[in-house]
Homo-oligomer: A and B are copies of this chain.
Amino acid sequence: MPAIVSAKIENELRDGPEVSPELDALMRNARDASDFLKALSHESRLLLLCLLAERERSVTELENILSLRQASVSQQLARLRLEDLVTTRRDGKAIYYSLANDDVRRVISVIYDIFCEKDQKA
C-alpha cells in the first residue's frame, strides 16, 4: 500500500476545505469497497462463498450442506449475484453457482486464512 494516499491528500488540505481529486477518488473507491464487503459480511453468505471457493455447487447442495431453508439460501445467493460475487449456470432443473472472479477468491482466501487456519494450529 503506497504512502501516496495521504501525502497528496494532506497537501490538498492546506490549500483549503475543497475536496481534493485524490480524496474524491479514494472516497469513491471506499464506497465500492464497502458495498463489496457488505455483501460478504454475513455468516451464511461467507459460508456459501467458502464452499463455492472449492468448486461450483447447486442450490440444493448448498441447502443440504448448511442445513438452511431454501428461501434463505436463494435470497443470500441473490444478494451475492447482485454484487457480482457469483455467477450461475443452468443444467436441467438445477442451477450451479460459482465464484465470479478472482477478487472474491482473494478476499475469501485471506479471511479463511485468518479465521480458519488457526483451528489447524490449535
Q: A27 near B54 (CB under 8 angstroms)?
A: no
Q: Could you say how many copies of this chain the assembly holds?
A: 2
- Looking at chain A's contact residues, the main secondary structure is helix
**Chain B residue with the shortest CB-CB distance to A40:** B37
Complex A-B, nearest 7 residue pairs according to Cβ-Cβ distance, in ascending order: A37-B41, A33-B115, A38-B41, A29-B115, A30-B46, A41-B41, A34-B43
Q: List 12 A-B contacts (CB under 8 A).
A: A5-B51, A5-B54, A9-B65, A13-B65, A30-B43, A30-B44, A32-B115, A34-B42, A37-B37, A107-B110, A107-B111, A107-B114
Q: Which residues of A contact B (CB under 8 A)?
A: 1, 3, 5-6, 9-10, 13, 17, 19, 23, 25-27, 29-34, 36-38, 40-47, 50-51, 53-54, 64-67, 103, 106-116, 119
